[in-house]
Amino acid sequence: MTTAAIQARNLSKSYRLGSATSFGSTLRETLADATRRWFKQDANPTNGSKKDDTFYALRDVSFDIERGQVVGIIGHNGAGKSTLLKLLARITDPTEGRAEVRGRIASLLEVGTGFHPELSGRENIYLNGAILGMTRDEIRSSLDAIIDFSGIEKFLDTPVKRYSSGMTVRLAFAIAAHLRPEILLVDEVLAVGDVAFQKKCLGKMQDVVHDEGRTVLFVSHNMDSIRALCSQVMVLDHGKSIGCVPVDEGVRAYYHAMAEHEHLPLSQRPRARRCSHAPVFHALRMHTDQGETHVVACGGTLNIDLDLANLGDVTRGECALSIRNEHGQRVVMFQSQYHADLVLTGLSSTILRCTIPNLILAPGTYSIDLVLADQPEIIDTIERAATFEVVFADLFGTGKIPDATQGHVVMPCQWKLAA
Amino acid sequence: MSAFNVASSPTVAVAEASRDDLAVTTIQPRRGWQKLDLGSLWQYRDLLRYLTLRDIQVRYKQTVLGAAWAVIQPVAMMLVACVFFGRLLGVAAKVPVPYPIFFFAGMLAWNFFAGAVNASSMSLINSAQMLRKVYFPRLILPIAAIGAPAVDLVISSLVLVVLMIWYDVALSWQFMLLPLITVSIVAAVLGVGLMLAALNVAYRDFRYVVPFLLQLWFFVTPVIFPVAIVPESWQWVVHLNPMGGSIEAFRAAILGTPMDYGAWAISTAASMLLLAAGLAYFTRTERRFADVV
């Protein structure tokens, strides 16, 4: 019998909503609460407030993960993926339940946590390494490997504030890739950085897993990297776990859960907990010249109407609409301020129309993610708010255009014999 | 130090597993008062080192004047104090040594105290992202914040050396007590700093309380005046102030003037109580930091 690396029993995490945070955000509120309780002679104050506004980010989750497994964690926004990692990483305590973790744990919930812009690359390697739980000797012994992996040796003594964002990410990844814990918890961090470097990191992670027998828990929306890396997945849905299952089964369950959400009106879709604002997105409609539809011909015009509400307190509202392909990769984004300098202010509700005049996406299925920010804060976001189909159109009069396996977009060009 | 040992069950306990030599971490809800986990602090000592270094490096890299700043500020304070308190209000006459050196010695200790309390009370909210994204013993942040003010203290004491040579003040054996006195000041810093750091996370209004508190505290601490100007029957009140007796002792150790050991003992006891209270509150509330910050 092998020993489980992680054994979790009935893990739950709840937050008290209402007063913005789990305990009063200002001293005045807390004092006011306390006096109110005093005068009410409430014998059991915590139970009283629990009834009102307890939100379970994670509910009664139990699982065993064997050593050497790479387990993907998938689920919709707000399903509890990040909360689960935070509990296992000991960043926050569970409200109920218990878990036993065998071996040293390192977590990578964000790339470059604690990086200081004024410090040089080298200084940041030591600082960030220590933050991630490495000792000075461990950092020293892998310093050359880290520098080599990052490919920034020329700028090692330059302050990080002069780095491009790409360089910063590479350096941060290089440090993280050289962590040597028995158990590694990774949140969706591979989503940033350029594709070539992502591949390099995935390769490195595969080495770590296969050669060194480490246990990895890996949160991602990208089903390709889940398939490439994981032996099992855990699907979370509204804070509950469907259990650890083989990858294909899990991915199917995930898509199934997502598809169920698609029947809900936007205002009732699950939101990430970090958005405490009242839902802004209420409805999305797509139409072309042919009327309301989910199918658009390649090269055609697509109009997307968004019904927005609860905008009363928004002063610098910017809406972003991004389109993902079947693999979960972002292909293109349309942003109201970038594209049209349109900033929402002083409106309570409105209809926002985004017109894409020449949709040159390759034929295939796409989904739309919505984000509304009251700059700089994101106040509402919905993943897979809707899906649509791009279908063949004879753009070049040749009867053929490239499909989604041959390229992301279909662009016109000229070919001729130049000899 | 049993004040904060009123723990319920030990919580995030790390025990050696006999089966495969891997430490087992148990994760479960913590409630009530917590035991101080010195083991994990020791385990993360390298993080403490690099965070302290970061604060020092950043402080001296960012400012054009760099180290000079640690000199200019107390010297300017001294000049103003000499004119207004020393001359115009006549405090200089009640001091057994030249007023500039009297004031400067006290100012050194006070500047360290105030700077360190301020830095450690802001340390958690300034590193909110780290609290939300990584596990490490939370105590490290407010402790590491003391490093940069300590370096300031060392640099500005160079001015004191110049003043001592100028006024021809000889060192006495009491100088050897300075490390001990510094320990009692650090205890006071941590006591207040830990408490305020934890309160700052929970209640953002404490951010505005800290400068105000330090300003009030400055005026009730014998920095610009000697304790001798307080009626003798009331001097014990000054010594209950954790910085009261300590600053007097700090000054006496440097200048070789008579040392009031009783006063220092009372202040040190007050500092230790403060430290125990600070640690108790900090370790009790730290489990909520990541959720609230």
Report the pLDDT value the prediction gives residue A195, as an integer from 0 to 100: 61
CA distance B288 to chain A (A): 7
pLDDT digits (tens, 9 = 90+) for A105-157: 888 888 788 899 889 999 999 999 999 888 999 999 999 999 998 888 899 99
- Binary contact (A25, B204; C-beta < 8 A): yes
Given a contact cutoff of 8 angstroms between Cβ atoms, the answer to whether B207 and B125 are in contact is yes
* ipTM tops the 0.85 cut: no
pLDDT of the residue at B70: 79
* Each residue's pLDDT tens digit, A59-101: 999 999 988 888 999 988 778 888 999 999 999 999 999 999 9
Q: Which of A94, A107, A130 sits opposite B135 (nearest CB)?
A: A107
**Residues of chain B scoring pLDDT < 70:** 1-21, 62-64, 66
**Inter-chain residue contact A93 with B47, CB threshold 8 Å:** no
* Residue B65 Cα, gap to closest chain A Cα (Å): 16
| Burial of residue A245 (number of CB atoms within 10 Å: 0-12, 13-18, 19+) | middle
Chain-chain contact of B132 with A91 (C-beta, under 8 angstroms): yes
Q: Is the pLDDT of residue A218 over 90?
A: no
Nearest to A27 among B20, B205, B287 (CB): B205
Q: What is the pLDDT of residue B272?
A: 96
More confident residue, A229 or B43: B43
Task: Give the pairing type, strands A295-297 and A377-391.
Answer: parallel
pLDDT digits (tens, 9 = 90+) for A299-352: 999 999 999 999 888 889 999 999 988 777 789 999 999 999 999 998 889 999
Q: How far is B293 from chain A (nearest CA, A)?
A: 9
The residues, ordered by sequence, that sit 6+ positions from B127 with a Cβ below 8 Å of its Cβ are: A114, B141
Q: What residue in A sits closest to B12 (Cα-Cα)? A: A90
CA A51 – CA A61 distance, rounded (Å): 21
C-alpha A184/C-alpha A176 separation (Å) is: 10
pLDDT in tens, A255-292: 877 777 777 888 888 776 566 788 899 999 999 888 88
pLDDT digits (tens, 9 = 90+) for A393-409: 888 888 889 888 888 89
Cβ neighbours of residue B163 under 8 Å, at least 6 residues apart?
B100, B101, B104, B169
pLDDT of residue B24: 86
Sheet holding A4-16, edge to edge: A54-66, A4-16, A96-102, B23-27, B14-16
Interface residue of A102, A109, A186 to substitute, partner B, most B CBs within 10 Å: A102
Share of chain A above pLDDT 70, in %: 87
Task: Give the model's pLDDT for residue A274.
Answer: 60
Task: Tell me whether A28 touches chain B (CB under 8 Å).
Answer: yes
CB B283 within 8 A of CB B4: yes
Distance from CA of A70 to the nearest CA of B (A): 19
pLDDT digits (tens, 9 = 90+) for A338-390: 999 999 998 889 999 999 999 999 998 898 999 998 887 888 888 888 889 89
**3-class SS string, chain A:** CCCEEEEEEEEEEEEECCCCCCCCCCHHHHHHHHHHHHHHCCCCHHHHHHHHHEEEEEEEEEEEEECCCEEEEEECCCCCHHHHHHHHCCCCCCCEEEEEEECCEEEECCCCCCCCCCCEHHHHHHHHHHHCCCCHHHHHHHHHHHHHHHCCHHHCCCEHHHCCHHHHHHHHHHHHHCCCCCEEEECCCCCCCCHHHHHHHHHHHHHHHHHHCCEEEEECCCHHHHHHHCCEEEEEECCEEEEEEEHHHHHHHHHHHHHHHHCCCHHHCCCCCCCCCCCCEEEEEEEECCEECCEEECCCCEEEEEEECCCCCCCCEEEEEEEECCCCCEEEEEEHHHHHCCCECCCCCEEEEEEECCCCECCEEEEEEEEEEECCEEEEEEEEEEEEEEECCCCCCCCCCCCCCCCCECCCCCCCCCC
Q: What is the pLDDT of residue B153?
A: 92
Contact B272, B180 (CB under 8 A): no
Using CB atoms, which residue from A21, A90, A182 is nearest to B135?
A90
User: Max alpha carbon distance in chain A (Å)?
Assistant: 94
**Which of A87, A88, A131 is facing B134, going by the closest CB pair?**
A131
For A242, residues 6+ apart whose C-beta sits below 8 A from its C-beta are A234, A235, A236, A250, A253
